[in-house]
Structures are given as structure tokens and as C-alpha cells.
Amino acid sequence: MKKYFILLFFLFAATACKKTKLEPEGPTDVRIENISDQDFTDVTVKIKDESISFGNITKMGGLSDYYRFQVAYIKAEITAKVNGVTFSTAPFEYTYLNYQGQMKITYQVWISDFNGKKIEIKNVIPDAPLDLK
């Protein structure tokens, strides 16, 4: 009797397992929100080998348009000019970062070190799923 319960348990466990469907890496639509008190001009976002110019983004809550990347992560290399001076994030190694998937996201960017000319991504906000229809 005990053998039947063990056999039934393994049979139930094997049939109850469900293979999860993996989400595709991208594309991902990305936009920038400026949460600093300075205007950003000539904003460029680079993710891996893709580089896209986002134009100018006004201070405190200014949003760019969405731009499509083949894959996006929680970090990106962003450069922007503030009063004619170039500010940037540090370059990243994307090897071990998780991708964002097929969705629209917003990078909230601010000036973390004005004297060191550094900007930083404070938050990554998932806005909506990406409709590819």
C-alpha cells in the first residue's frame, strides 16, 4: 500500500509540473524623465551597441518620447549636457543584468554629483506592456 502512495505521489508531481514560457528579451520602448532641477540637452542613451538621441528634456518632470531598443536593462549609459557641460552615467557591464522584456519603461534620471559631472538612474518605472500588434 505504501508503494502505491509513493508511486501516486511521483506520478502526480510529474504531471503537475508545468513548463513556464520564457518572455522574449525585447523590444523595449524607453523614455527618460528628468527629475533634477536642471534642463538636459542633447540626451543620448546607449544600451549595449544601440545608441539613440533623445533630444532635450526640460527640468523637473520633463519627459522624452518613447524610443525602441532591441533589449533594455535596469541600467543604461546616458549622457546629457547641462548648461553646455557634458554629464554622464558610468559605463555598465550588461552580462549579468536582467532584461526588461517587451514593455514600455521610464528611466528617472537626476544629477547625483554636480561637480563630478555624474547623472544617475534613480528608478526604472514599468509603464505598460508593449503591444506589438
Q: What's the pLDDT tens digit per position in 88-133?
A: 998 888 888 889 999 999 999 999 999 999 999 999 999 998 887 6
Q: Cell 520633463 appears where?
A: 62
How many domains does the chain divide into? 1
For residue 116, give the 3-state DSSP assignment.
coil
Which residue's entry shows cell 513556464? Answer: 20
Q: Which residue has the cell 514560457?
A: 21
Q: ∠ CA(63), CA(69), CA(74), 5° rounding?
A: 70
Can you give the CATH number for the domain in which 114 is found? 2.60.40.2890
Tell me, what DSSP letter sits at residue 74?
A: S
Is 71 a domain residue? yes
CA distance 83 to 19: 53
Q: What is the pLDDT of residues 13-56, one digit of tens each?
A: 666 665 545 667 889 999 999 999 999 999 999 999 999 999 99
> How far is residue 96's CA from residue 37's CA, in Å, rounded to a whole number?
33
C-alpha gyration radius of the chain = 21
Inside any domain, residue 3: no
Q: Is residue 13 part of a domain?
A: no
